[in-house]
Every structure is written in structure tokens, then in C-alpha cells.
Amino acid sequence: MTKYIFITGGVVSSLGKGIIGASLGKLLRARGYSVAIQKFDPYINVDPGTMSPFQHGEVFVTDDGAETDLDLGHYERFIDTNFSQISNVTSGSVYQTVIQKERKGDYLGATVQVIPHITNEIKSRIIKAQKHFKPDFQIIEIGGTIGDIESLPFIESIRQFKTEIGIGNAINIHCTLLPYLPTSGELKTKPSQHSVQVLRSYGLQPEILVCRTSKPIPKTEKDKLALFCSVSKDAVIECRDMKSIYEVPLALEDQKFAEVVLKLLYSEQREANLDAWKNLVEKINHPQKTIKIAIAGKYTKLSDAYISVVESIKHAGYEYDAKTEIKWINSEDCVDDAQCKELLKDVQGVVVPGGFGIRGIEGKLNVIKYVREHNIPFLGICLGMQCAVIEYARHVAGLKGANSTEFDENCVYPVIDLMAEQKNIKGYGGSMRLGAYDCHIKKGTKAYDVYGATKISERHRHRYEVNTDYIEQLKRAGLVFSGMSPDGMLSEIVELPELDWFVACQFHPEFKSRPERPHPLFKGLIQAAVNSCV
Ligand code: GLN
């Protein structure tokens, strides 16, 4: 029987509930239990796909093509399981279903209300995920902070669900912050007590408190939290700031976090096998060298916008015992050649990530021209690949004025164009080419070297593609098309064989990299960057 773990947050947002939930998932997996997760987001967007990365950070894409919250990326990386459409639930998607049912007349004349119709729909999403994954444990994280008006239907649904399923089958972990007051030299527990009071006012009593803190929590303060918040003393868990997020599961394991969870859920205690993870953390903490990798993009002020790219770079670094420093470069600062050269002079590798719209494009093209001409290891992702093709067309293949029709509909050489299947699509929500598609890799290429396979599957999120009309011309000019869709119509990977590492892909490799299993294309980049230092 599946046991349910609800995770709520109090005091402030951005507590890292996702990392805490993902870490618990890891600890349960390390005990041989299966784990599924769900992220409930209280906003009205049907999914985060239409939101600006400045608002919401990265949009994480699942194999089955859902555009989801970036926390799903943490869950996939920690738990090493692929999640799906049903793993991310928003208020918008819940209301959409309920309103569609109402329009069809499914409610037989009833007044449609938050309770029971919205709450029933939320509970049915929990059950739907349970039926799909049939996990031993289902972790459900509620976005936002307790007390937010918009998360109330989710909190009410948990209250009902917990009551219906009975004691020992569902628990609530409440994550809070203990602020440190330097003037008195104290960690303060009052905000956490208040946030538990708010939770209780909705009828929810937490079983476990996970407290984010910058300093060790003294026993007296832990005991105080246990007393005032009515949780047992061993259920007050400290979650201190760590150098690396991958240390969090081990820090929580030291405090018997998973043991407490299993006890509260009347589940069998099992030995955890965390050897591989411990080795990983050992490698993270003892790098042999440091390399600097630039990410040249548009949303560089908010690193969350490229979080999976950053994590993938780190994962590949661990493999080569290298600490990877990220240099954020706003591509708009690279339009001037001298400035572009100055910004790139101290980096050993460059990633041009995905993106949308014309802003920053000329700077990206300049960055790519520079790395191509100076043999600096380069990985282009989605828009990054489209820019690499435009740059090559303009400066090597003699197609002056080449562009993407995304940026100039009437350009002379539209080397990147809207995919045929996209031409009649109206509306932006969930309408791109999304999710996993197969790709065939040509033997004897750099892509084949790193994948070691001719058939791969990768996740996509795009509307535009390399225009097939120009492929022959680009090939003649030296661009190698090393990965194509199975029907040979869609360019998936391009590369330049004479350079150490110049590879670009139409898909998003960053969604499939795992800390213990870095992605081949990131490994290729980092290996070339490491080699360039010796
Ligand atoms: N804007 C480009 C497209 O729609 C690239 C998208 C991306 O980088 N995710 O094809």
C-alpha cells in the first residue's frame, strides 16, 4: 500500500522544499523503496510553460512532454526516476478540468464549489499518480508558503485526504526557516511556531519539522520547537546550508530523517545503501582542478533559469574531478567584438543554452564565432544549436544574411524555420514539439564517440528547426550532421570534427543528466575543457 508524504513550507518562500523532498526520496530509494513525487503549484497558469524564466526559473520537460516546475528536475536527479505529466499539478489545470466538466453537464445541476469539487479533483490527481506509479511512497510538495490565499484548496485537500486514509498512512513534513539574529547571537524559533499555528488553523498538524538554518540548532531550541509545535523531539530535523545540494541527503541521513519518516508511516526499517552517493560527495568536496565554463544567455541574472544546465555542467565536472565555475555572460554584452573577446578570455568552455526571441541573438552569434575560430570547447543547446547553424551559414557557407524566421521572417536565407507541424498552431500553451523523441547517430562522429550508440532518445522543447533546404549546402561547407530524427528529416545534432569540441543539439540534454551519470554531451564538453588546461 502506498504511503503519502506531504511537504509544506512556512516562514518564507525559496526554502528549498524541493531539495528536501528530493533528498527524502533519495534516502527512501537507497533503502530499496520505490518513490513517486508530485509538485502542486497554486498559480493559475495551466503549466509553467507560458511563464517567463525571470518569473519562474527553468521550465523542466519530462519524457512525456510535460512542461513542469524546476523542482521536478531536482526530483529526477536525486531519485533517478523519470516523472510525468501527472507529476505536476497547478490550480490552473485543476480548475480547467472542473470547468470543462461543468460545461459538459457532468455535475448534474450541482452548484460547483471549491469544496468539494476542486478539492475532489485535487485528491483525484493524487490517486491518478498513485495508480500510474504504484510507489511505496508518494511525496507531494505544495508550492508557496503556508497562509497564501491561493494554496488553500490544496491544504484543505491534504486535510481531507489525511483524514480519509487514516493514521500511519500519510504524514505532513513542514519546512521552515530559523532566522539567525547576529546581535543576540541566536537562532529564532518564533516564526516557525507561528507558521505551524497557521497550518493548524487549517486543520493540519505536522508530524515532522525540517528547519532551514545557517547555524547548528542548539538542543534547547530543538526541544522548544518540539514542545510548541507538538512534534516528537527526534522529528525536529536540522537542514543547514551546504556547499553542495548533493550533501543534503547525507546530512539528513545523519539525523535519521528517513528512519523517523518510516516509523511514523508504520513501515519497515531498512539499511540504506548510500555508498555511491557518498563517493559522489567525496568527489565534489575534493576536486583536483578548477575550470571555468561560460553560459552565454539572456536570463543570466537568475541562475534558476538555467538550473538543469548548471547542474549538468557540475555533474560532468565531478566525473573528471573538476570543480566547474560558471561565468555568466549576458549575450547582449557580446555584440562588440573586443568586449566579446575580453569576456571569453579566461574560460575553458562555453555553453549557449536554449531561449526564445530575438534579444541577445547577435551577441550569441558573436560568441559562437569566437569559440569556433579559437577552438574553445562549445556546446549549443536548442536555440544555441540554431545560432551555431546561423553563424556557420553566414560566415563559412557564404550565406550572408542567414537567419531564423523566428527573428526575421523575411530573411534572405532562412536556415532555421518553423517546423511544418507548427505552421497552423495557434496559441502558446503546450503547443511546441515537446518531450522525448528518438534520434539516430552517425558512426564515426564525436556524438557517436560520447554516446557509444546509434539510437538515443532525448527531450525537446522547440518550434523551429534547421531548414532541410540548406542542409546539403551546410554539409558541403563542412558542418557535420551527426544526429538526425529517424525519418532523416529533422537535424538533431551538428558538429565540427576538426575542432576539439564543437557540438550543438536541437534537444535539451540537461534534462537527462544525473549526478552519478553525467550526460554524454556535457561529458564531451568538460573533458575537452579539462584537456585544454594541460
Ligand atoms: N526559440 C527556439 C524554438 O522555438 C528555441 C527554443 C529553445 O531553445 N528551447 O525553436
Amino acid residing at 432: M
Between CA 97 and CA 89 the distance in angstroms is 11
Q: Are residues 334 and 273 in the same domain?
A: no
CB atoms within 10 A of CB 98: 20
Predicted local confidence at residue 52, as pLDDT:
86
Q: Indicate whether 386 and 457 sit together in one domain.
A: yes
What does residue 114 show for φ and ψ, rounded to 5 degrees?
-60, -50
For ligand 1, residues with CB inside 6 Å are: 354-356, 382-383, 406, 461-464
Torsion of the alpha carbons at 72, 75, 76 and 80, rounded to the nearest 10: -170
Between the alpha carbon of residue 218 and those of residues 41, 178, 196, 223, 502, the distances in Å are 34, 12, 20, 9, 52
For residue 277, the model assigns a pLDDT of 97
- Same-domain status, 395 and 482: yes
Of the residues 227, 256, 279, the one at which a domain ends: 279
CA-wise closest residue to 50 among 78, 10, 90: 90
CB of 493 within 8 A of CB of 486? Answer: no
Q: Give the model confidence (pLDDT) of 226-265 as tens digits.
A: 999 999 999 999 999 999 999 999 999 999 999 999 999 9
For ligand 1, atom 9: residue with the closest CA: 354
Residue with grid cell 511525496, as numbered in its chain: 139
Active-site residues: which are they?
A: 382, 508, 510
- Give distance in angstroms: CA of 65 to centre of ligand 1: 15
Same-domain check for residues 227 and 330: no
User: Which atom of ligand 1 is closest in space to residue 354's alpha carbon?
Assistant: 8
Binned at pLDDT 50, 70 and 90, residue 301 comes out as confident
Query: How far is residue 431's CA from residue 60's CA, in Å, rounded to a whole number?
Result: 15
Q: Are residues 273 and 298 in the same domain?
A: no
Q: Which domain holds residue 55?
A: 3-279
Q: Do both 208 and 88 map to the same domain?
A: yes
Q: Ligand 1: which of 50, 406, 506 to mutate, most ligand atoms within 8 Å of CB? A: 406
- 92 C-alpha to center of ligand 1: Å? 24
Q: Atom 7 (ligand 1): residue with closest C-alpha?
A: 354
Residue 27 belongs to domain with CATH number: 3.40.50.300
Are residues 270 and 369 both part of a single domain? no
From residue 401, alpha-carbon distances to 146, 191, 357, 367, 405 in Å are 53, 59, 18, 17, 12
Instruction: Say if residue 236 is in the same domain as residue 340.
Output: no
Dihedral angle over CA of 82, 85, 87, 91, nearest 10: 160
What 3-state class would DSSP assign to 143? coil
Q: How many domains does the chain have?
A: 2
What residue's CA is closest to ligand 1, atom 5? 383
**Do residues 371 and 297 both lie within one domain?**
yes
Q: Are residues 275 and 295 in the same domain?
A: no
Cα 293 to middle of ligand 1, angstroms = 22
Cβ contacts of 216 within 8 Å, gap of 6 or more: 238, 240
Model confidence at 13: pLDDT above 90: no
Residues in CB range of 518: below 8 A, 6 or more apart:
312, 315, 316, 318, 319, 526
Question: Ligand 1: which of 50, 358, 359, 382 to mutate, most ligand atoms within 8 Å of CB?
Answer: 382
Q: Supply the pTM of this predicted model.
A: 0.94
List of residues 6+ apart from 181 with CB closer than 8 A? 187, 188
303: pLDDT strictly greater than 90: no
Same-domain pairing of 364 and 254: no
- Cis upstream peptide for 116 (omega within 30°): yes
**CATH number of the domain enclosing 339:** 3.40.50.880
Identify whether residues 262 and 306 lie together within a single domain.
Answer: no
Last residue of a domain, one of 279, 307, 332: 279
Mean pLDDT of 415-433: 85
Question: Of 279, 310, 342, which residue constitutes the final position of a domain?
Answer: 279
Give the per-residue pLDDT at 534: 75
CA-proximal residue: ligand 1, atom 6 (nearest): 462
